[in-house]
Amino acid sequence: MNRRAQFLEVLGIPAEWVPRRLAGAPVEAATLVEVEVDIEVATVAVAAVGAEAAAEIEASLPTPTAPPRVVMVEALSPAPQPAVQDEAALARDAAIAAMDWAALEAAVAECTACGLSDTRTNTVLGVGDRRAEWMLVGEAPGENEDLQGEPFVGQAGKLLDNMLGALGLARDRNVFIANVLKCRPPGNRNPEPEEVAHCEPFLRRQIALIRPKVIVVLGRFAAQSLLRSTTPIGKLRGTVHQYEGIPVVVTYHPAYLLRTLTDKARAWEDLCLAREVHDRAGAEA
Ligand code: URA
């Protein structure tokens, strides 16, 4: 089975949901536009009439005429600072920005900068190859991650591992996985802005130490935090952004993909885009 078929199987997307024109097609920017258009129509149709009719509906779709998409790289707005940042906070940020891995690991493990340190079991620094060309960034540890001290070890993590496998990647080999927050918000509530502000220097330093060729951001929260944006995830994905000069591709969170059938094919498009960005960076290196 080729990688694409393997990936679609991992995501639970029946073959008949996928435009036939794309079968075996190389990953090109132009095809990404086609997928967007076709899947939009095909998935709505599937929801309405059932999977069996999908192939027929897809076959009847007009051939898209969209021109090849130019991959855009957006400049990231300057790193935001709280309106008033006291000297101690500035000194802390500067100290973190100068840390090596050992110091960073210790600083995260001992961090008491916000209230999450009162409720956590373990800090979750991240896992993987510290010289990886791929970096994935999620939101925050959940219950299992808090217990085990490793990101994405629950159900969503299994899906993530399978998605990575379909791309020829693995968390213990050629990818590094981290979160915006290093501690679990109690009850898996949304992170507070103050918690993000305290934790951000850690992630920024991780990214600076790894210098991946591409960062894949998982889910709305991580994407909006990293990119300093309030734009909905549906609009952030499909474009190449930048963080500190490193290309960033946004996709859906695996936990969301577990329950949202209609967006699974889009996640595949996103990873194709990330692969393209990665390979291009490799070619330019
Ligand atoms: N969700 C995340 O965003 N990160 C994890 O580590 C686990 C679940």
Residues 58, 90 share a domain: no
Q: Is 179 in the pocket of ligand 1 (CB under 6 A)?
A: yes
For residue range 178-210, list pLDDT tens digits in order.
Answer: 999 999 999 999 999 999 999 999 999 999 999
Residues 255, 193 share a domain: yes
**What is the number of domains present in the chain?**
2
Tell me the torsion sign for CA atoms 222, 225, 227, 232: positive
CA 225 to ligand 1 centroid distance, Å:
14
Spacing of C-alpha 262 from chain mean position: 18
Nearest to 151 by CA among 140, 166, 135: 140
For residue range 80-128, list pLDDT tens digits in order.
Answer: 555 556 899 999 999 999 999 999 999 999 999 999 999 999 999 999 9
Residues 251, 151 share a domain: yes
Q: Is 152 in the pocket of ligand 1 (CB under 6 A)?
A: yes
Residues 250, 276 share a domain: yes
Residues 67, 109 share a domain: no
Half-sphere exposure of 14 (CA within 13 A, CB side): 12
β-pairing verdict for 175-179 and 134-138: parallel
Residue that is written with structure tokens 């969503």 in the block = 156
Q: Is 151 in the pocket of ligand 1 (CB under 6 A)?
A: yes
For residue range 3-36, list pLDDT tens digits in order.
Answer: 666 666 766 665 444 433 333 444 333 333 333 3
243 strand-pairing partners = 246
The predicted structure's pLDDT at residue 84 = 58
Residue that is written with structure tokens 């927050």 in the block = 181
Q: Which domain holds residue 24?
A: 3-75
Residue finishing a domain among 75, 98, 116 = 75
Mutate to test the pocket of ligand 1, among 152, 195, 203, 233 (most ligand atoms within 8 A of CB): 152
Q: Is it the case that residue 69 has pLDDT exceeding 90? A: no
CA 141 to ligand 1 centroid distance, Å:
5
The domain that holds 224 is classified in CATH as 3.40.470.10
SS3 label, residue 176: strand
Residues 109, 53 share a domain: no
